[in-house]
Amino acid sequence: MSSDSMASDSPDPLVTRFAPSPSGYLHLGNARTALLSYLAARKAGGRFILRVEDTDEARSSEDFMMALFADLKWLGLDWDEGPDIGGPHASYRQQERRAIYDEYLSRLDAAGLTYPCFCTPAELSISRKRQLAAGQPPRYAGTCRNLTTEERAERLVRGLPAALRFRVPDGQVVSFVDVVHGEQRFNTNDIGDFIIRRTDGSTAFFFSNAVDDALMGVTLVLRGDDHMTNTPRQILILQALNLRIPQYAHVALLLGMDGAPLSKRHGDTSLRDLREHGYLPGALRNHLVRLGHSCVTDGWLDDAALIADFDLNRLGRAAAKFDEAQLRHWQKETVAHLSTDEFVKWIAAELPPGLDPQQRAQFVTVVRANIELPSDARAWAKVIFGKLDEFEPTALAAIREAGEGFFTEALQVIGHPGTEFKQAVKALGQAAGKKGPALFMPLRAALTGFTHGPELAPMLALLPFAEVQARLEHARRLAV
């Protein structure tokens, strides 16, 4: 029983999809899956479908679905079919596809491939524990598989809740060729009959997800490798229904730098968190595409270049570790690629109100290379346009190291209206007998509160003279 021949002989254009459950904000793992699926379709000139898997009504919400659309759009993805834009296979919300599922369930019924299961969660849990204790992989023990017609009828009359299970054939091998992992083989004896309709009447993931992929013409299912063992189940369903089996590409799950699955304790893990933090979509795209996929280009890629660079053959098996330092790197690159207008718009909310356009333009020129996040712009705007009331510990140390005399001299040579900064610093160096960092560091510390930052002279050109004087005077007193 092999699916690879069906998949690889396909002359059709590539159709991929992203099929999230709207039960929370889009996390990075799913954002990466969406991005890779989108790039695969765009690269091949195929179609990218968005399908919302909301069969679990208790956990799904309309708000999360709206947030999902917004987050995907923010990341720069668009789709050719989806709940918000419709398409030839509508609806793209599983809750609205029940009639379709009922039809396909009844086909399985008619073929004798389903049976009702009355086992309670407690009974299933005991059976599971027993199997584990005996060193066997847990699978459904088949308790309700061979109930007689009378036994079934009797339980139904008693009103026992019934799930519907798929009857997995015995002693067969399900094989498929995974795009990332190569040939996979599963023995059906290890699978166990699985639930395709829950006791509440909703269809289970195995079933609705597989049926929808087939009916929507999906040719490549790209998803996390936590779904690898679900795939043989889904292939069995598709074969039983005589529906087309897609190709599968299972990408490594996203991990934190410590090798543990990415979770809240690794910090921001939803796209929304990172966006609120000030990260730009280009930074996320460039980091995420390199997690589980190797790019031929090392540098920053815009959307068109990302599509051009993407290659399904370069999806890899190596663990994909989300690395905030890498994200920072791509953020810097993304900021550097913003036009001046885009940059100004990006940091606008962080600037003090009432800046004239010239001051704003000067500020942007001076600080741009020092800004990775809008909060950095806020900090430099405070240094330049606000009052200096905080000093980094290293800045305080530099001020104290320079001593009171240094700042007394500085006030003499720098603290005058119209001082030409470079000349003045030279004069100060001679008067104080200092040069290099011993000369510049305490000045920078006194005038900005930091020992690092944008070039000093153009920054000071933005400070009113009285403010320069006040800061030097303050430093003189701190140095006593």
Q: Which residues are catalytic?
A: 264
Considering only residues 7, 15, 19, 443, which one is a binding residue for ligand GLU as defined by CB under 6 A?
19
Answer yes or no whether residue 53 interacts with ligand GLU by CB under 6 A: yes
How many degrees, rounded to 5, is the angle at CA 155 between CA 153 and CA 158? 110
Nearest-approach distance from CB 223 to ligand GLU, in angstroms: 4
SS3 content of the chain, % helix, strand, coil (to 5): 50, 10, 35
Q: Judged by CB under 6 A, which stretch of 13-21, 100-108, 182-190, 332-340 contacts ligand GLU?
A: 13-21
Q: Judged by CB under 6 A, which stretch of 17-25, 136-144, 239-247, 251-259 contacts ligand GLU?
A: 17-25
Nearest-approach distance from CB 19 to ligand GLU, in angstroms: 4
Q: Report the run of H or E that residue 329 belongs to, with start and end.
A: helix 324-336
Nearest-approach distance from CB 227 to ligand GLU, in angstroms: 6
Tell me whether residue 20 or residue 442 sits nearer to ligand GLU (CB atom): 20
Helix axes 281-288, 324-336, angle to 10 degrees: 130
Residue with the CB atom nearest ligand GLU in the bound state: 223
Q: Is 422 annotated as a binding residue?
A: no
Answer yes or no whether residue 211 interacts with ligand GLU by CB under 6 A: no
Considering only residues 3, 21, 114, 269, which one is a binding residue for ligand GLU as defined by CB under 6 A?
21
Looking only at residues 148 through 187 of this chain, which bind ligand GLU when binding is defined by CB under 6 A? none
Looking only at residues 369 through 398 of this chain, which bind ligand GLU when binding is defined by CB under 6 A? none
Answer yes or no whether residue 250 interacts with ligand GLU by CB under 6 A: no
Considering only residues 209, 270, 331, 469, which one is a binding residue for ligand GLU as defined by CB under 6 A?
209
Q: Judged by CB under 6 A, which stretch of 162-170, 221-229, 252-260, 427-435 contacts ligand GLU?
A: 221-229
Instruction: Kindly tell me the burial class for residue 158, based on how many C-beta atoms sit within 10 Å of its own C-beta (0-12, 13-18, 19 or more).
Output: exposed
Answer yes or no whether residue 93 interacts with ligand GLU by CB under 6 A: no
Nearest-approach distance from CB 35 to ligand GLU, in angstroms: 13
Tell me whether residue 246 or residue 281 sits nearer to ligand GLU (CB atom): 246
Distance CA 213, CA 210 (A): 5
Nearest-approach distance from CB 442 to ligand GLU, in angstroms: 56
DSSP one-letter code for 14: P
| CA-to-CA dists, residue 436 to 384, 395, 464, angstroms | 24, 16, 26
| CA-to-CA dists, residue 224 to 114, 251, 292, 406, angstroms | 28, 5, 10, 62
8 A C-beta contact, residue 178 and residue 248: yes
8 A C-beta contact, residue 327 and residue 284: yes
Nearest-approach distance from CB 222 to ligand GLU, in angstroms: 8
Nearest-approach distance from CB 106 to ligand GLU, in angstroms: 24
Q: Judged by CB under 6 A, which stretch of 15-23, 103-111, 185-193, 311-319 contacts ligand GLU?
A: 15-23
Q: Quick one: residue 185, left, alpha or beta (phi over 0 = left, psi -120 to 50 = alpha)?
A: beta
Tell me whether residue 20 or residue 374 sits nearer to ligand GLU (CB atom): 20
User: Which residues make Cβ contacts (< 8 Å) with residue 316, sequence separation at least 6?
Assistant: 180, 252, 292, 293, 294
Q: Is 435 helix (H, G, I), strand (E, B) or coil?
A: coil
Query: What residue ranges in 167-286 does DSSP mark as E strands?
Result: 173-178, 182-187, 194-197, 220-224, 247-251, 254-255
With CB under 6 A, what is the number of residues at the site for ligand GLU? 8
Residues 89-116 as b or e (16 or more Cβ within 10 Å = b): beebbbeebbebbeebbeebeeeebbbb
User: Which residues make Cβ contacts (< 8 Å) with residue 121, sequence separation at least 6?
Assistant: none
Closest CA to 271 of 78, 56, 33, 16: 33
Tell me whether residue 234 or residue 451 sits nearer to ligand GLU (CB atom): 234
Answer yes or no whether residue 227 interacts with ligand GLU by CB under 6 A: yes
Closest CA to 138 of 190, 187, 204, 196: 190
Tell me whether residue 3 or residue 209 sits nearer to ligand GLU (CB atom): 209
Label the pairing between strands 173-178 and 220-224: unpaired
Considering only residues 223, 368, 474, 476, which one is a binding residue for ligand GLU as defined by CB under 6 A?
223
Nearest-approach distance from CB 150 to ligand GLU, in angstroms: 39
The encoded tokens of residue 427 equal 């004069």
Tell me whether residue 141 or residue 249 sits nearer to ligand GLU (CB atom): 249
Tell me whether residue 52 or residue 425 sits nearer to ligand GLU (CB atom): 52
Tell me whether residue 228 or residue 478 sits nearer to ligand GLU (CB atom): 228
CA 9 and chain centroid, separation: 33
Answer yes or no whether residue 16 interacts with ligand GLU by CB under 6 A: no
Per the annotation, binding residues are 264
Per the annotation, binding residues for ATP are 264
Question: What residues make contact with ligand GLU under the rule CB under 6 A?
Answer: 19-21, 53, 209, 221, 223, 227
